[in-house]
């Protein structure tokens, strides 16, 4: 019975953790793009994003990570033989990368607060795709374990994920170009 409780809350933990990571980097994008706004909007937006980032990281993202890790340790304590499974070693490798990503987000948050972040909105959009790819790999390993499919269906799903990531990037680029065109048109309008 303990295994089921640990597993249930492990799933809840990683859903919360990923939700926090997805939204956190989205806030970073808005924070960076606030630099393009005129004053006083720039300062107001940057201050608001900084508050939102701190709260999201401290109240949702960190606890989600802690619950995920604690429940994983609970699962291992009830099923220690699981540590012998090769799929788990790969999963733990991706989880370690995800923990590194999590802490790198904290570093970016501090840089944004100090106005020292050199990342553009476009770079942050690309960074925001990393947890999606890690989520797909981690879930696939957890579901299929040592029988991870390598057939055409698996490659189609992988291709779909890559296509979605590329589409998001292209959409952002088109949106940015349209905004730049609108600004150019506004600047070309003669003042009365």
- Which of 51, 7, 3, 4 is CA-nearest to residue 27? 51
CB count in 10 Å sphere of residue 22? 14
Is 103 known to sit in a ligand binding site? no
Q: Is 91 annotated as a binding residue?
A: yes
Q: What are phi and psi of 117, to 5 degrees?
A: -75, 130
Q: Who contacts 19 (Cβ-Cβ below 8 Å, separation ≥6)?
A: 60, 64
Dihedral class, residue 151 (left if φ above 0, else alpha if ψ from -120 to 50, else beta): beta
Binding residues: 10, 91
Binding residues for heme: 10, 91
């Amino acid at each position: 019975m303990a295994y089921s409780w640990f597993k249930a809350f492990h799933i809840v933990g990683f859903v919360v953790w990923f939700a926090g990571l997805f939204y956190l980097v989205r806030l970073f994008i808005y924070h960076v793009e606030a630099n393009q706004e005129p004053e006083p909007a720039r300062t107001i937006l940057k201050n608001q994003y900084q508050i939102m980032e701190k709260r999201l990281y401290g109240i949702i993202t960190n606890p989600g990570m802690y619950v995920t890790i604690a429940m994983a340790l609970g699962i291992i304590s009830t099923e220690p033989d699981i540590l012998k499974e090769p799929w788990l070693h790969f999963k733990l490798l991706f989880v370690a990368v995800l923990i590194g990503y999590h802490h790198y987000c904290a570093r970016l948050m501090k840089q944004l607060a100090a106005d020292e972040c050199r990342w553009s909105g476009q770079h942050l959009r690309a960074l925001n795709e990393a947890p999606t790819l890690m989520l797909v790999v981690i879930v696939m390993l957890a579901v299929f374990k040592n029988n991870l499919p390598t057939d055409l269906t698996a490659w189609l799903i992988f291709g779909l994920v890559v296509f979605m990531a590329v589409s998001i990037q292209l959409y952002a680029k088109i949106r940015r170009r349209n905004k730049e065109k609108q600004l150019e048109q506004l600047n070309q309008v003669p003042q009365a």
